[in-house]
Amino acid sequence: MKASRQLFTLTVLVLLAAASFAQHALPPQLLQAQSLSARGQSRAAIAILEPLVQSDSHVLDDADLGVAWNLLGSAYTDFENFDKARRCFENAIHILREIPDEQMQYATALDNLGSVEGSTDHVDEAKALHTKAKAVYRTLGNHAGIAISSSNLTMVNLIQHDLRAARANIAEALRESQLTKQLTENNLASLYTAKGSLARAERDFQGAVAAFQLAIDLWTHSYGPRFFMLGVVYALRAQVFEYMGDHPNAIADYRQALSLLEETPGRNAPAYLTVQIAYAQALRHVGSKQEAARLEKEARSTLANVRVQQCSGCTISAESFR
């Protein structure tokens, strides 16, 4: 897999998380877990959520249990634990689709599962899930959900090299974003990252840098300069700087990305290792060949081991598509 494709997959992994549109008041434990997860404190969120979803817990009713599974899946996704995340989202989907008043949460779980499938190279499945989520949001008249699903589909289209569909989906995402006040700065930052990724694919490098900067500004304003999702945008912007021949800024952005991704999802996670490989290639461009060779060899070896471990759990349940 080439570095450019790896960085697209990185974007699907940590960028495309659907908003959580609860249609009822959540209990304090779920509100706390939701808040922690939104701030990137996923370990703390998992510690709260895991006991709540155990079969012998009986703390939550069905609706809240579906929400809990959805939140837990998102937290596992932050650490690239795709097998656990997939099972969480499938549990959420199984519960929520049967509850008429929780169809927005159901759509969110579909979108989140789509992001997991996109991250594990099940791109057709990802597209189907995001499309299904968007259809549910459209039925509900939820403009924020449509915008998020359209943004998700933009990234899937880019992985599939379908620029026409990507343009149509990002245009719909931007249009729908103007029709709602439900989108958070987190959602908007995700949307601008998708917009920047399309600009990059179209070789509109100035447009890509501008869109990525908007995403950086939004996430920094909401969560501060150490928010882990900023690592994605810095890595993507670094690649654009490389295309522009601006190697010093590219190297600076790669270093910032690695610093942010080191904590979440961690040094042995594919996201971190993918950026390390790209950083090594940037170092090679400025003549640091020995350091580049060392970093790339180290990252590729670790990444190969991680992929083997992950693929042992990479199964897709037909349940989600019914």
Going from N- to C-terminal start, the domains of the chain cover 3-21+28-321
pLDDT of residue 192: 95
pTM: 0.88
Q: What dotted CATH number matches 3-21+28-321?
A: 1.25.40.10
Give me Rg for the CA atoms of the chain. Answer: 19
Q: What is the C-alpha to C-alpha distance for residues 188 and 11, in angstroms, rounded to an integer? A: 15
Residue type, 8: F
- Tell me how far the alpha carbon of residue 150 is from its chain's centroid: 14
Q: Give the chain's largest Cα–Cα span.
A: 60
Q: What is the mean pLDDT of each run of 10 residues along the chain (322 residues)?
A: 50 49 77 88 94 91 95 91 95 96 94 90 94 96 95 92 97 97 91 95 97 97 92 94 95 96 88 92 94 95 78 47 44
What tokens were used for 32?
A: 């706390």
DSSP, res 319: G
- Give the Cα separation of 185 and 206 in Å (integer): 22
Burial 7-35 (b: 16+ CB within 10 A, else e): bbbbbbbbbbbbbbbbeeebeebbeebbe
In the numeric block, the tokens 């570095």 are attached to: 3
- Which 3 state secondary structure label does DSSP give 315? coil
Distance CA 91, CA 317 (A): 11
Q: DSSP string spanning 43-57?
A: HHHHHHHHHHTSTTT
CB 73 within 8 A of CB 64: no
Reference 18, options 114, 84, 98; nearest CA is 114
Q: CA angle, 149 as apex, 156 and 258 as ends, to 5°?
A: 60
Residue 225 burial (C-beta neighbours within 10 Å; 0-12, 13-18, 19+) = exposed
Residue type, 110: L
Spatial contact of 108 and 145, defined as CB atoms under 8 Å apart: yes
Residue 89: the pLDDT is 97
Q: What is the distance in angstroms between the CA of the first residue and the CA of the last residue of the chain?
A: 32
